[in-house]
Structure 1
Amino acid sequence: MTTNPLVARIETGAAPIETLATLALEQHRVIPADRRAFLHLAQRETATPEAADFFAFLAEGEAMAGERLIAFAEACGVDEARLRTYEPLAGCQAYPAYVAWLALNADPTDVVAALTSNFAEWGGYCATIAGALREHYAFTEEACGFFDFFAEPAPELELRATAAIRADKVNESSVTTYSTMLKAYEASFWNTLGATP
């Protein structure tokens, strides 16, 4: 059982479909924002070739996730008109805003280390949600694809992250700060969603 209150509700089928729709709408903003931040990190002059390779690979993954998000949104009843008119929630968008801050201000290798420290938790949430969508919400395989994508092991990404960290000196203090902030903003994402009607 997850310690994330909203994910726990989704896991048991207690979360309303409208909450899932809001999750889709917020991710519709998060995914392209993170992708642009990762592309910027890959192009930073201070990025080592290994870090640039990691972020380019990560950006490619975000693009693939974005394609899978469409089916999830449709299964939640989200159409194009709602996508266009939706007003995002500040508590959900704080995470991508901080990722953008890191892309502009932090050392790219430090960002590699900070991001990878949080991947396992996000992947666990996605695995739980994917299972719940099938069991309690009768979603199709395609509609679960967004969460399946992030729930799957990513050995190639891990190898690229390891190569990037080994190729450059990491500022442990900065990494700890960035990781702590990312965790706090991710918690804000879920808590904000959980508080929506």
Structure 2
Amino acid sequence: MTRSARDLLATIRRELTHEEGANRLVPLVATGRAPLSVVAALAAEQHHVISSDWSSFLALAARATDPRAREYFTGLAQGEGVALARLADLAVACGLVPATLSEHEPTPGCQGYPSYLAWLALNGEPHAVVLALAVNFAAWGAYCATLGKALREHYGFDDRACGFFDFFATPAPEMEDQALAVVQSALDAGQDLTLARRYARMLQDYELMFWNTLADQAG
């Protein structure tokens, strides 16, 4: 019997969820202990991340042969465009000039995630990449929800300044349903999605590296 895409997603998420406390930055921001300079560094690093991921999603859409997968990746690319616009408001709240974000010298530890996603865009099996991204997005969204709340409570940020985090924290069940439809189609066709777990593990660990590289800057 063909395995359910939803069950497979839940299983991989459960297996790859990091232990509480593994992310050292989010608790610092959640309690107001992280300096504003670290939040500013996050915004600057995200400028590079989003710019890269936007291109990666478009490349994945071009490589995918399944129309549903192409639509999924194209939707993600469009979302990066929205996020990049909202990032400018976060930058202003942190005391940065949005026009100069591209001049920020990126940190290797923060850029592992987009670099690996770019590798997946060239080498990954698109259906497996869809599943891996669906695994990762849950953790990213939860972190963004915590930061959006904390920046309002402890740093005096308004809704506009928190719009970047709110965008990713807002549940998007339609996107997950779309991903599950792509994965289920692959499973029904007998495709091997074994690599999805590896892709997801790498994305999860590179994301954790992003957060903890910034935590190291908090002193």
Q: Secondary structure at the match of 1:136?
A: helix
- Number of the residue aligned with 1:175: 196
- Please name the residue that 2:149 is paired with: 131
Number of aligned positions between the proteins? 196
Q: CA deviation at 1:5?
A: 1.4
Amino acid at match of 1:19: V
Q: What's the TM-score once normalised by structure 2's chain length?
A: 0.85
**1:187 lines up with 2:211 in the alignment:** no
Q: Using the alignment, how far apart are the partners of 1:80 and 1:183 within structure 2?
A: 28
Q: Secondary structure at the match of 2:155?
A: coil
Given that 1:47 and 1:109 are in contact with CA atoms closer than 8 Å, whether structure 2 keeps it comes out as: no
1:22-41 equivalence runs, <5 A: 22-41=41-60
Q: Which residue of 1 aligns with 2:85?
A: 67
Identity %: 50
Residue 109 of structure 1 corresponds to: 127
Match of 2:139 in 1: 121
Q: CA deviation at 1:81?
A: 6.2
In the TM superposition, residue 171 of structure 1 has moved relative to its aligned partner by 2.9
Task: Quote the Cα distance in structure 2 between the aligned partners of 1:60 and 1:81.
Answer: 21
Where 2:25 maps in the other structure, the secondary structure is: helix
CA distance in 2, matches of 1:175, 1:77: 40
- What is the deviation of 1:91? 0.4
Shift in alpha-carbon separation, 1:56–1:30, aligned structure 2, 3 A:
same
Q: Which structure 2 residue ranges, 5 or more long, are not aligned?
A: 1-19
| Root-mean-square deviation (Å) | 1.5
Question: Given that residues 92 and 188 in structure 1 are in contact (C-alpha distance below 8 angstroms), is that contact kept between their aligned partners in structure 2?
Answer: yes
Q: 1:80 to 1:125 in 2, by over 3 A?
A: closer
Give the letter aligned to residue 72 of structure 1. L
- Aligned residue in 1 for 2:31: 12
Residue 183 and residue 52 in structure 1: after superposition, are their counterparts in 2 closer, same or farther (change >3 A)?
same
* CA offsets 1:123-148 (integer angstroms, 9 cap, x no match): 10000000001000000110000000
Where does structure 1 lack aligned partners over 5 or more consecutive residues? none
**CA pair 193-64 structure 1, distance change in 2 beyond 3 A:** same
Q: Which residue of 1 aligns with 2:177?
A: 159
